[in-house]
Amino acid sequence: MMGRRTSGAFLTALYCAAALFVCWEKAAGQERFRRSAPYPGPLAELRLPDIQNVTLSNGLKVAVAQKPDSAFVSVQLVVLAGERDCPDNVPGAAAATASLLSRGTPALSSSDIEERIEAIGADFSSRVFLDYTIFIMDVLEDNLDQALEILSLMTLQADFSDRELEGLKRTSYYELLEKGKDPEFVARAHLARLLFQGHPYQKGVYTEEVIRNITRKDIQAFYGRFYRPNNALIILGGNLNLTTASRKISHYFNTWTPRPVERDLLPEQKPNDKDVICVIDLPQARDATIYAGNLIMPLSSPDYFPFLVLNQALGGTTSSRLFMNLRESKGYAYYAFSETEFFKSCGLYWAKARVTPSAVYSAVQEILKDIRDLAVEKISSFEIEQAKSFLIGNFPLKNESLHALCYRLSLIRAFGLGDEHWNEFYDTIMLVNVDRGFETAQKYLLPKPIVVIVGDRNAVADYLKDFDRVDVYDAKGKMRFTMMKGVEK
Amino acid sequence: MLDKTRTLLLLGAWLFLPLASWSLPSPPIKGLTFPVTQYTLRNGLEVIIAEDESLPLVSVVIAYRAGALQERPGQMGLAYLVENLMFQGSENISPMQHINYINRIGGELNAITAFDRTIFYQTVSSNQLALALWLESDRMKSLSLTSASVERVKESLVSELRQRRTSDPYMESLFLFEQLLFPDFAYGHPLIGTEEDIKKISEEDVKSFYATYYVPNNAILCLAGRVDVDKARDLVSRYFETIPRGNDIPAAGQQPKLPPRGGVTEALTDSLAPAPAFHLGYRFSPLQTGDYYGLKILDYLLLRGKSCRLYKRLVKKERIAIYLSGGLDERKDRMALKIFAVNNNEMMAERCQKAVLSEITKLKTAYVPEEELSRAKNMFKADYLHRVSTCLEKALFLCDASISGIGPAGLSAEFDKYMKVTPASLIGVINRHFTPERTVILNVQKK
């Protein structure tokens, strides 16, 4: 009885307390759970489709990512030849070959091809990288056969007519001319030009003048040498299995004849370790665009994943070091980020910022310091975890569409990468810790990055005096002169 | 026994055949059939949850039925201003922190202001659903609106506007063209406002707009992705249920009918225009049942892709246009088809305009070949199905379906209506709507 009374009193007190709490909360105007961000739930499992592979009798490799719920099929043809495979005297041949593939066969004009693609509601695009070229056809599942037929006609019967080549040269010329006005494009190109000096990857950097010299013969030679089934692969994603996919691909591509393909070996390229500051004169540029970068590991390296985390911490988002320092704290920059790009034999990283001309010197010092800091002082586990959280959250988002998913698969197959780049991405990123990050930073971020500043020389000249030496180039990458302590030599 | 079975089979066939002949439903459209849960909270917030197991992602979209249509004269740009202010912090979230929270976890976010709606969206890992709901609910419940934040955002919008006015060729002409095309103030004024109006908008205007339209009973919340429906419902309830219902949304005033005026042809000199150009459009209002579907397909037939009628003739064949764009412009219950062409010189512009009008005339008298119609429908179909191909696309599409009254369940049936457009129905639509009285032309001259 006593016990019950005590218990009743206790409960009454509890109810009163609860009621008081509710009243207080209402008086305060909001419920308690609104005051701070909720904790995330447990990380959900990443389940990308399994990949099935087969090699056809002519050597063409086929990989299928089955997505039964998709109304589309993405067909991605990868040819293992890119900018680096161009003859030394014809950089641009890889891009021209890829562009001309969809510009006519003996029986179909460029316009006919365009019409046939649109008639089935398909999207076609192509892209040339340093190591490979990709042709993508995204199509409604019902129209897959027609799409494959068009793709095979383009791939097997392209006629590279002089008329189309002239048209392409005209448009490419003006496109490159236009790109040459974009400070970021100019800075990125110059960085690659310097870092890849003497390496086949340097062929990926060329100006509009080069386009004029490409001939039909050059294109035919490039095509004849590299566009072979045994040097290509086809990725298909959508509602189809390996049997159906290989039957269809075999039907449309079985007349593609193999031939041994030899690609030049890629020499090892050492990262820069000298003080190099370049200015590219881009008249009329209002601000100064800074790129500071160096060579790093290829995609296949186990260091790739820790480096991704480091890059994220350095300049992946607006809460990363570069942005917080150069924009939020110092107020030098409109933006400040870092990026990476990976190839077969190496990779590139760069920090980039757009700043007012008067802040050029200080901004460069801060960028170099932010990069170096990662290699001399261990990054905090909080920063590491935050960077990992971004990468893990962003991975499915970046690979969500069928197009993007197959695009990733194409990259994986083109570079012969393992499952850590596919279904095991989460686990691999999870393994990165402070020590692994530090070890990677010491390996790749200690060598001095090359600094490229793009701006109007007249606007930035006064602010370059603090640099010991600056090499000044024109917008096409030709060296004009050197400045020592701001004085032209 | 055998006879009995045969009888049953025959009976079955007899029962089945007539049914099949007159009520065979269209086969389900792949991609358009997915589980959807739809309900309304006590405060009036409409909730749609679409499950998609493919990846550990969820898109959270909130659409408020508030846009430029709700602006009064002297307030142009108010809806866009409020959209921007929604990122300036709320009771528990500091300015710009909404963006930082989403960015830090690898998510993506943005917002759109349109004529009849303003949409906020983000896609995050599915384990971060609560975070996205917390962020959205906080700014729905308690947006921080101070004179400082209002002034700051106004300043940035004015600067954006100035920058665009001095760098976007043809922008002035587009604004004028839209005013000619939609003569009612509510439909024809620019979404981004004018410098004069933005400067005049007061803190009170902003607070009143927010308090009137950014309320649960004027919003749709859509979640699409890998979610457990029960848990998602609990979270939605936790963050949104106690947000008080707003006052009844003011009914849109009786919209004045389009003035009975003939075709309009005007000219403008644009100091930024690198080449002469023209805008040509047709106003469609009111529409008869079914006309909408024909107009949509016509948009693809005339203007989409590089093998559409106008591109083929003006750019590829006759080379009288150096740039061509256009399409249907839908503003709630008003609609127009807009065509914009840039030409090498005035003579080309004139020829080009005549060519456009002659193509329209052709469509009035000759059936569109089946092959051409099929191309337009295939392109339309691909675009329609792309709208459900990612979590975000799906969530945006479902909000759109809900606002337009089709509802998530009606997507397949709606799709069929486009596919049923015939050459004969197109001729009817074109003759009804593409008349000289509905034609608006604005010639843009280079200074």
* DSSP per residue, B122-148: EEEEGGGHHHHHHHHHHHHH-B---HH
Question: What pLDDT does residue B256 have?
Answer: 53
Question: What pLDDT does residue B258 have?
Answer: 58
Q: Å from B244 to nearest chain A CA?
A: 12
Residue A135: alpha-carbon gap to chain centroid: 17
If asked whether residues A307 and A417 sit together in one domain, one would say yes
Residue with tokens 């590279």: A160
List residues bridging with A348 in a β-sheet: A295, A341
Chain B interface, mutation test: which of A397, A423, A426, most B Cβ atoms within 10 Å? A397
Q: What are phi and psi of A214, to 5 degrees?
A: -75, 135
Lay out the sheet containing A61-66: strands in order across. Answer: A51-55, A61-66, A232-238, A72-79, A133-140, A123-128
Q: How many CB atoms lie within 10 A of CB B286?
A: 10
> Percentage of residues in chain A with pLDDT exceeding 90?
86
Task: Please give the average per-residue pLDDT across B404-432, as a whole number.
Answer: 93
Name the residue facing A119 among B104, B142, B375 (closest C-beta).
B375
Which of B250, B249, B236, B251 minimizes the C-alpha distance to B42? B236
User: Number of structural domains, chain A?
Assistant: 2
In the numeric block, which tokens belong to residue B281?
């459009």
How far is CA A139 from each of CA A82, A121, A447, rounded to the nearest angstrom?
25, 7, 46
Say if the Cβ atoms of A122 and B382 lie within 8 Å: yes
Chain B interface, mutation test: which of A400, A405, A406, A423, most B Cβ atoms within 10 Å? A400
If asked whether residues A146 and A234 sit together in one domain, one would say yes
In the numeric block, which tokens belong to residue B155?
């300043």
Q: What are phi and psi of A292, to 5 degrees?
A: -135, 120
Contact A80, A263 (CB under 8 A): yes
pLDDT of residue A137 exceeding 80, the answer is yes
Q: Each residue of A248-292: pLDDT tens digit?
A: 999 999 999 999 999 999 999 999 999 999 999 999 898 999 999
Out of A294-298, B56-60, B256-260, least confident range: B256-260
Name the residue facing B56 among A122, A123, A396 (closest C-beta).
A396
Identical fold between B36-240 and B264-446: yes
Chain B interface, mutation test: which of A112, A113, A115, A284, most B Cβ atoms within 10 Å? A115
Over the range B186-223, which residues count as b (16 or more CB within 10 Å of their CB) and which as e?
bbbbbbbbbbebbeebeeebbeebbebbbbbbbbbbbb
Chain B residues 196-215 within an 8 A CB cutoff of chain A: none
Chain B interface, mutation test: which of A113, A118, A141, A284, most B Cβ atoms within 10 Å? A118
Confidence of residue B260 (pLDDT cuts 50, 70, 90): low
**Chain B residues with CB-CB distance to A72 below 8 A:** 382, 385-386, 389
Mean pLDDT of chain B: 91
Cβ burial of A120 (10 Å; 0-12, 13-18, 19+) is buried
Residue A367 lies in a domain: yes
Say if the Cβ atoms of A43 and B30 lie within 8 Å: no
Which of B147, B165, B159, B160 minimizes the C-alpha distance to B201? B147
Q: Å from B186 to nearest chain A CA?
A: 36
**Chain B residues with CB-CB distance to A41 below 8 A:** 126-130
Q: Is B305 on the interface with A (CB under 8 A)?
A: yes
Residue with tokens 């049953």: B8
Q: Each residue of A92-116: pLDDT tens digit?
A: 999 999 999 999 999 999 999 999 9
Q: Å from A170 to nearest chain B CA?
A: 15
Question: What pLDDT does residue A28 have?
Answer: 54
Q: Å from A102 to nearest chain B CA?
A: 14
pLDDT of residue A30 exceeding 90, the answer is no
Say if the Cβ atoms of A118 and B306 lie within 8 Å: yes
Q: Is B129 on the interface with A (CB under 8 A)?
A: yes
**Rounded distance, CA B106 to CA B104, Å?**
6
Chain B residues 100-119 within an 8 A CB cutoff of chain A: 100-101, 103-108
If asked whether residues A364 and A396 sit together in one domain, one would say yes
Question: What pLDDT does residue B20 have?
Answer: 33
Residue A219 lies in a domain: yes
Confidence of residue B328 (pLDDT cuts 50, 70, 90): very high
Question: What pLDDT does residue B287 have?
Answer: 79
Task: Give Rg (Cα) of chain B.
Answer: 25
Answer with the one of A195, A219, A253 that is the final residue of a domain. Answer: A253
pLDDT of residue A210 exceeding 90, the answer is no
CATH number listed for the domain at residues B36-240: 3.30.830.10
Peptide bond into A258 cis (omega under 30): no
Task: Please give the average per-residue pLDDT across A361-380, as a whole number.
Answer: 98
Look up residue A361 and give its amino acid.
Y
Task: Please give the average per-residue pLDDT across B34-56, as a whole number.
Answer: 95
Residue A26 lies in a domain: no
Name the residue facing A140 among B104, B242, B381 (closest C-beta).
B381
List residues bridging with A136 in a β-sheet: A76, A125
Chain B residue with minimum CA distance to A315 = B104
**Chain B residues with CB-CB distance to A123 below 8 A:** 382
Say if the Cβ atoms of A396 and B55 lie within 8 Å: yes
Answer with the one of A210, A238, A253 that is the final residue of a domain. Answer: A253
Contact A415, A345 (CB under 8 A): no
Note down the domain range covering A219: 51-253
Residue A28 lies in a domain: no
**Chain A residues with CB-CB distance to B382 below 8 A:** 72, 121-123, 139-140
Domain range annotation of chain B: 36-240, 264-446
pLDDT of residue A27 exceeding 50, the answer is no
**Chain A residues with CB-CB distance to B56 below 8 A:** 43-46, 396
pTM over the 0.95 mark: no
pLDDT of residue A172 exceeding 70, the answer is yes
3-state SS class at B39? strand
CATH number listed for the domain at residues B264-446: 3.30.830.10
Residue A230 lies in a domain: yes
Residue with tokens 């030496």: A469
If asked whether residues A316 and A185 sit together in one domain, one would say no
**Chain A residues with CB-CB distance to B103 below 8 A:** 317-319, 390
Residue A196 lies in a domain: yes
If asked whether residues A341 and A230 sit together in one domain, one would say no
If asked whether residues A411 and A318 sit together in one domain, one would say yes
- Residue A241: CATH number of its domain: 3.30.830.10
Q: How many CB atoms lie within 10 A of CB A146?
A: 17
Question: What pLDDT does residue A186 have?
Answer: 96
Say if the Cβ atoms of B390 and A141 lie within 8 Å: no
**Rounded distance, CA B406 to CA B38, Å?**
13
Name the residue facing A37 among B57, B129, B134 (closest C-beta).
B134
Mean pLDDT of chain A: 92
Name the residue facing A401 among B242, B382, B389 (closest C-beta).
B389
Residue A15 lies in a domain: no
Say if the Cβ atoms of A34 and B138 lie within 8 Å: yes
> Percentage of residues in chain A with pLDDT exceeding 70?
94
- Look up residue A191 and give its DSSP letter: H
**B21 versus A82: which is more confidently predicted?**
A82
DSSP H or E run through A90: none
Q: Each residue of A283-319: pLDDT tens digit?
A: 989 899 999 999 999 999 999 999 999 999 999 999 8
If asked whether residues A342 and A457 sit together in one domain, one would say yes
Residue with tokens 């303003």: B118
pLDDT of residue A51 exceeding 90, the answer is yes
Look up residue B281 and give its amino acid.
G
Q: Each residue of A408-450: pLDDT tens digit?
A: 999 999 999 988 899 899 999 999 999 999 999 999 999 999 9
**Rounded distance, CA A231 to CA A80, Å?**
6
Task: Please give the average per-residue pLDDT across A463-485, as a whole number.
Answer: 93
**Chain A residues with CB-CB distance to B378 below 8 A:** 118-121, 140, 143
Task: Please give the average per-residue pLDDT across B174-178, as a whole number.
Answer: 95
Task: Please give the average per-residue pLDDT across B399-406, as a whole number.
Answer: 94
If asked whether residues A242 and A282 sit together in one domain, one would say no
3-state SS class at B37? strand
pLDDT of residue B265 exceeding 50, the answer is yes
**Rounded distance, CA B162 to CA B155, Å?**
11
